[in-house]
Amino acid sequence: MKAAVFIDKDGTLVKDVPYNTDPAHVQLREEAVDALRRLQAAGFELVLVSNQAGVALGRFAERRLERLWLHLRKTLAHAGVDLAAFYYCPHHPQGAVPAYAVECDCRKPKPGMLERAARERNIDLARSWMIGDILDDVEAGHRAGCRAIMLDVGSETEWHESPLRAPEFYARDLDAASHYILAST
């Protein structure tokens, strides 16, 4: 089994543009490529995990996420980074699209996306990490059995604290997060 780093998309890997599925508006965080290269060189599989409530809310069609995923994967591949997989949750309990307006086990802070990735990709969750920009990301990582880092970049608005929402480390950016992971393994 392999170790992975699960990475939240909006606000963590890319600058947050709410409900964006247009590749032209996707901008990687400045330090992302170097940080991901460093983690990949250390043997971590890189897996993107993202809540995409815009589908349930009727802001965009689910099929638009495929184009965005391909753009991110291609952009990172040109920089020498293999983004292995993309898991997303299209659900939201208060959604406007009935098929997606459900309670699910994949919407972070629930661990479903990480657990599914672990099953499908032979990932050892106990050796893996979750990096995100809000405490729901941290909680999802801990519920799945991973260690977790929160990028303290001003995204969190709901400081509901609990042991599951206490990250192992608060990082200023992905660069600091990658160094912490490597020093901790």
More confident residue, 158 or 40: 40
The fraction of the chain above a pLDDT of 90, given in percent, is 95
Residue 157 has pLDDT above 80, yes or no: no
82 is catalytic: no
- Asked whether the predicted pLDDT for residue 172 surpasses 80, the reply is yes
Task: Decide: 26 and 168 in contact? Cβ < 8 Å.
Answer: no
Q: H/E/C letters for each residue in the chain?
A: CECEEEEECECCCECCCCCCCCHHHCCECCCHHHHHHHHHHCCCEEEEEEECCCCCCCCCCCCHHHHHHHHHHHHHHHCCCCEEEEEEECCCCCCCCCCCCCCCCCCCCCCHHHHHHHHHHCECHHHCEEEECCHHHHHHHHHHCCEEEEECCCCCCCCCCCHHHCCCEEECCHHHHHHHHHHHC
Residue 78 in this model has a pLDDT that exceeds 80: yes
Question: What local confidence, expressed as pLDDT, does residue 19 receive?
Answer: 93
Q: Could you tell me which CATH number the domain at 4-184 has? A: 3.40.50.1000
pTM over 0.85? The answer is yes
Whether 175 sits among the annotated catalytic residues: the reply is no
Phi–psi pair at 178, nearest 5 degrees: -65, -40
**Residue 160: pLDDT band by 50, 70, 90 thresholds?**
confident
Domain boundaries, the chain: 4-184
Report the pLDDT averaged over residues 85-111: 97
When pLDDT is cut at 50, 70 and 90, the band that residue 53 belongs to is very high
Asked whether the predicted pLDDT for residue 141 surpasses 80, the reply is yes
